[in-house]
Amino acid sequence: MNSIHFIDTNPLDLTTIQAIIIEEKKLALSTSSQDKIDACRLFLDEKTKSISKPLYGINTGFGALYNVKISDNNLQKLQENLVKSHACGTGEEVPKEIVKLMLLFKIQSLSYGHSGVQLATVNRLIDFYNNDIIPVVFSQGSLGASGDLSPLAHLSLPLIGLGEVYYKNEKLSSEEVLKLFSWEAVKLQSKEGLALLNGTQFMTAFGIYCLLKAHKLSYLSDVIGTISLEAFDGRIEPFNELIHLVRPHNGQLKTAERIRELLENSEIISQEKQHVQDPYSFRCMPQVHGATKDTIRFVTKTFLTEVNSVTDNPNIFVAENEIISGGNFHGQPLALGLDFLAIALSELGNISERRTYQLVSGHRHLPPFLISNPGLNSGFMIPQYTAASIVSQNKQYATPASVDSIESSNGQEDHVSMGANAATKCKKVVDNLQTILAIELFTASQALYFAKAKTSPFLASLVSAFRNEVTFVEEDRVMHYDILKASEFIETLEIDSEELF
């Protein structure tokens, strides 16, 4: 039986989010959250009855239509029209695991009682989450300001019986699923459509997905880079703590410490060297990998702040008797963070490919392209080409989206973050990095075979586990399958969260 995660005032962190995902926990609102949602909704209902002035998005139109007053008998129609009209997504479907994160984060944001939604609306989102009813959401259409309007409209359509969902790996109309569960479509009340569509949950879900993988790939960059160092008969001196204490960036210190730990009891690292220095891709792992670690830490802080925030508009403050229209939906912090993360992860791929290049170049004791009878066999020549191609693509994806802005809504929304484009690009960089590291692991494991001494017990154990999936290459074969298996090995490798977060 699945355990339950109660949505309450306790902030979500990466460890909690990962546990919710891996343990497939069900969601439920705490009593405190239910009370806050109910109190906010009651306050809004009373407020709209007692005053006649326009309240943006509650009894007015949206965007450039903010001055158009809507009659009381059309307020429900106004909210449903908003959801329908904003469902203009195009492009690829968003992966189901990211849509599920969108649901989680939308529920979290609405639970604080500053959005004016009905308790029934939040509970229906929880029903979707708990029953793996995943709305079909599209990757293109958000400007990342006014929130992720188009993707969140698609996320919300099933509430009113429109759009499509995945249920038990089958794409169904939302109407079919509602009938299947004997649920009535939610009748949206004033402000609800806006609360559902304003928000940054598309960007946030992509960002958290990328960060969970980034922490793992950052750790594995250290591990795989150290296997390459051993295969290349590298030197230990660049990882001496004294060097890093006089330039004490946290990530640099952590990387050097980890590499020293990974090399404990290695015969290779202890043997006498014929060379005085190693290339930068080996020698400067603490500085390069470490800078990426520091970036990941900064971006994680930004995204966890967002996960635990209210990001719709206007915001309702019951205790203060205020309804305030502002701009918490603007995705600028996320856009900058996603661009920064993409750049930092792209660099992990960049330096990884350089190590792969060094390993196949016939330097030190290694045969050219790590294969017997080179010439007849091309060996590991082309995996390095593939890595180089992907690295180049990542450099293109690392071009920031956040420096762009296009005016929309007749000039009312005159600066936007483009954080949604930053989000989808960042995911491509993360996916590409996994493949680049898989190629390095494949190459380094082959190169380590030619070492005349033993590596550390930890690295030997990891390479042995890898060899169960990808065997030593004796002569040319179709390496496409090996690269896929290497990537799958990385994907499924379980790492203690204490090493990651």
Query: Which of the residues are catalytic?
Result: 56
The answer to whether 335 touches 401, Cβ cutoff 8 Å, is yes
Tokens read off for 289: 């990998």
Burial-class residue 395 by CB neighbours within 10 Å (0-12, 13-18, 19+): middle
The answer to whether 221 touches 290, Cβ cutoff 8 Å, is no
The span from the CA of 61 to the CA of 78, in Å, is 8
The answer to whether 146 touches 198, Cβ cutoff 8 Å, is yes
Compute the CA torsion angle 277, 281, 283, 284 (nearest 10 deg): 140
Cα end-to-end distance, the chain, whole Å = 27
Q: Provide the 8-state DSSP code for 58.
A: T
Count of CB atoms within 10 A of residue 199's CB? Answer: 32
The span from the CA of 183 to the CA of 121, in Å, is 12
Strands 4-7 and 26-29: what pairing?
A: parallel
Residue 91's H or E segment, with its range, is strand 90-93
The answer to whether 23 touches 2, Cβ cutoff 8 Å, is yes
Please give the C-alpha separations between residue 417 and each of 115, 144, 337, 338, 437, in angstroms, as whole numbers: 22, 5, 11, 11, 31
Burial-class residue 125 by CB neighbours within 10 Å (0-12, 13-18, 19+): buried
Tokens read off for 72: 């009381």
Give per-residue burial for 416-440: e unless 16+ CB within 10 Å, then b. Answer: bbbbbbbbbbbbebbebbbbbbbbb
Closest to 202 (Cα-Cα) out of 115, 93, 300, 316 = 93
The answer to whether 89 touches 151, Cβ cutoff 8 Å, is yes
| Strands, E assignment, 103-207 | 134-135, 138-140, 164-167, 170-173
Cα angle 174-109-92, degrees, rounded to a multiple of 5: 45
